[in-house]
Chain A
Amino acid sequence: MDVRFRRAKMNYEDLTPLAPLCVLCVFVVTLSLAQSPSPRGLPVTYERLLKAPEEPANWLTYGGDYRSHHYSSLNQITAENVHGLRARWIYQMHRPKVETTPIVVDGLMYVTRPPSDVIALDAETGRALWTFEYKVPAGLYTCCGQVNRGLAILGTTLFITTLDAKLIALDARSGRMLWKKEIADPALNYTATAAPLVVKDKVIAGIAGAEGGIRGFLDAYDAKTGERAWRFWTIPAPGEPGSETWGGDSWRHGGGSTWITGSYDPELNLLYWGTGNPGPDYNGDVRPGDNLYSCSLLALDPDTGKLKWYFQFTPHDTHDWDATQVPVLLDSTFDGRLRKLVVVPSRNGFYYVLDRQTGEFLLAKPYVKQTWAKEIDKKGRPVVNPGQEPTQEGNDSIWPGVDGGNNWMSPSYNPNTKLLYVSAREERRRFFKTDALEFQPGEAYFGGGGGGGARFRPEESWGKLIAMTPETGKIQWEHRILSPPWAGVLSTAGNLVFSATPSGNFYALDARTGKELWHFNGGDRVYASPITFLSRGKQLITIPIGDVLIAFGLE
């Protein structure tokens, strides 16, 4: 115990692990695992990732499992006892805008800290065991803060993408870097913020920067060597399928980033990944056409990167409505037939149900107020209303706002209630456009904006957590909150749903009725999704609130 205490103290004083200490570090981790009631620890094999739902003690992937259900079968904390939930520990990050989702493996938590650091925490105490600090070069162009959303793990290796568009592999036992590969050139406004996803022996890594005029793609890397296995360009080059949807040379800076982690169906061997807005965001005049494959859901072969099908939610988007939502995979009856579905609460304000085998459009239904589309037609294409485009003076009649009905925060599907829980944003916003602009390295490439000083009434901006029947999009109940949220949702077998508000309140609802059962004022905005796991056999729930990570448990 003395050794452990001393190490923790040194780690606190000197956050950069020195080589001689790593031996000690490995020893401490081993000691910690020996004390953990969960016997498995590392390595986290691909087989374990496939069966992640069978390890509720852990949180092994960004979405909780390959279907991105963001659900846990843990049931120690229940609707009956959740009133006794208390803060157990706090890990201070001292950095703005923490959007991360940790990974938990048998008593150890791996978490990212902005901009691109990784920390191993004792899940029981919140004490740091090692810290990997990554120095991000100055002067990077980023649109929306120096954020990072998490990690992937395979074997004994952690994977993180960095703000300067690198993919890094770390030894999970020491925090030591194994390899670093450039995904793209950050000087050309490429940046990376999403948690990677491990599929078989590959690491799938998305890219960001469509506000800076990038040409987007999705990459796969060999988990052992870091060699790139394939790249799928989300914006086709002239001559490639889809290139006819871009006028002139506009494809070169066509955006279509891939900045939120996708899902995977091992039976169909298909990877599902959303793509972001076309560039420039608000001035569509320079890019006539549908602008494939921006604002789309892609189904790709994870072995080759070959496109199996795509579905575009918002053709020729001019409102920055990225389709970078977490796609949730469900097997359910639709129109009397058992089907493999993928469901998406799109940023454009409609909830979509697709057949995930074929990409067939099955259903779309608004889940927040929207004014831009008359309807979604039988093929899934929006019938657009007039007067809903950004204008030079500013158009303030548009719902949803620039941040959409949902954004990147995780939804949750609960197999017990058979409900899908979604954080939803009700918002009217002002959109304006500026002249067509030249791409410049290090500069923004918006062509307008989605704010501009307009003040709206309280009844024009609020938030809610909705519980819907995923097969129909029918809303069963909703829990209203004061302002549009940025927190994801966790649901559990304890008949609970957890989420948080921009006022700083972390709360729990009855998963069946939506009745509020518990809340805690964490004192700052929440830009993250809660997760749950076991530590020493007891269920804990963590969520980043402001710049701290807080763990909650029963007394």
Chain B
Amino acid sequence: MNFVLPTPAQRAAVQPRSSLPEANPYSSAADLESGRRLFTGRCGHCHGQNGEGGRGAALNTGRFRHGSSDREIFLIIRNGIPNTEMPGTFNSPEADVWRMVAYVQQLGRQGLPEPVTGDAVAGALVYRDNGCALCHSIDGKGGFSGPDLSDIGAKRAVRHLRQSLLEPSADIPLDYRTVEVISVTGKSSKGIHLNEDEYSVHMRDVNGNLMSFMKSELNEIKLPRKSLMPAYAELPKDELENLVGYLSSLRPKRRAQ
């Protein structure tokens, strides 16, 4: 991983809300087709080529967490979502952003239910019994070795959640990549890769210890691309699906109830 420091703003300014029409001025059939093609190159990599979701949220369910009006979706595509992996498309003309809005709205109108077969209530017990909370936290309860799952159902599509349980190393979130260092005396240390530059490397081990190493005192640095999370491929299928159902139910609105 490259621990480069945060990139300064690449675009002149965030597009202001007030300058935009409420409704999409580019929603003809031709715009929609153009929007589909734009989506393929720009968005499909994370949201799935048919909006079925992946690392990015599913867009074919009709549930848009950050706003569902044309204008709101425009602003999300144009400006990105701060503190998430969703980037803005600063280098798209405004008309193209509207065309993508048209296509995303069409995806949403499919109103497809996410393919959850499991029972969320039963899944909560699977979560408890397998000790997931040792590493993950939900609403402030649990560990910090793995990602916070409080809103995970809104952030990740069902298929991505299932894949993460079966193959945790398939797509490791940027903040949870692992590192192993071996000192000149042969001592190995493993943990979450927190920072690195040309001279030093930093990690948090499974016990939560923050550790710093000088590269001059190391024999080897390995970036295994292997998640610290064990795979749950052995879990009975119904338990796995229930767990997926539970994780998928973890959404911000749950807390408002």
Contacts and interface: CB of A to CB of B under 8 A. Distances in A.
15 contacts: A96-B9, A145-B10, A146-B12, A394-B44, A434-B41, A435-B37, A443-B93, A444-B91, A444-B92, A483-B3, A502-B2, A502-B5, A503-B3, A503-B197, A525-B7
B45 A504 contact: no
Contacts of A519: 198-199
A524 B5 CA distance: 6
Contact of A502 (B4, B37, B87, B92): B4
Contact of B40 (A96, A392, A502): A392
Contact of A394 (B45, B55, B92): B45
A435 B46 contact: no
A444 B93 contact: yes
B244 to A, nearest CB: 23
B17 interface: no
Interface in B48-72: 49, 55-56
Contact of A437 (B44, B90, B93, B198): B93
B5 A503 contact: yes
Nearest to B38: A434
Contact of B91 (A96, A139, A211, A458): A211
Given A144-B10, A444-B93, A504 B5 contact: yes
Interface string A437-460: 100100111101101111101100
A87 interface: no
A534 to B, nearest CB: 29
Contact of B45 (A140, A446, A454, A461): A454
Task: Output the residue of A440, A444, A451, A484 with the most chain B CB within 10 A.
Answer: A444
B9 A483 contact: no
A455 B85 CA distance: 11
Nearest to A96: B8
B33 to A, nearest CB: 9
Interface string B221-240: 00101000000000000000
Interface residues of B, number: 41
B41 A448 contact: yes
Interface in A507-555: 507, 519, 521, 523-525, 546
A468 B24 CA distance: 55
A3 interface: no
B29 interface: no
Contacts of B38: 434-435
Which A-B residue pairs are the 9 nearest by beta carbons?
A: A432-B41, A96-B8, A503-B197, A483-B2, A443-B93, A502-B4, A453-B45, A444-B91, A97-B8
Nearest to A98: B8
A461 B41 contact: no
B42 interface: yes
B48 to A, nearest CB: 12
A392 B8 contact: no
B223 A458 contact: yes
Given A394-B41, A502-B2, A143 B8 contact: no
A123 to B, nearest CB: 26
Nearest to B94: A443
B91 A525 contact: no
Given A482-B196, A503-B4, A449 B41 contact: yes
B184 interface: no
A481 B174 CA distance: 20
B249 to A, nearest CB: 26
Nearest to B47: A453
A501 interface: yes
Contacts of A434: 37-38, 41-42, 92, 96
Nearest to A211: B91
Contacts of B189: none
Nearest to A516: B198
Contacts of B40: 392-394, 432
B198 A433 contact: no
Contacts of A393: 40-41, 44, 49
A392 to B, nearest CB: 5
Interface in B132-184: 171, 174
B95 interface: yes
A143 B93 CA distance: 12
Nearest to B7: A525
B12 A452 contact: no
Nearest to B6: A525
A142 B91 CA distance: 9
Nearest to A547: B8
B34 interface: yes
Interface string B178-220: 0000000000000000001111000000000000000000000
B17 to A, nearest CB: 16
Given A96-B8, A444-B91, A521 B37 contact: no
B23 interface: no
A141 interface: yes
Contacts of A433: 41
B96 A481 contact: no
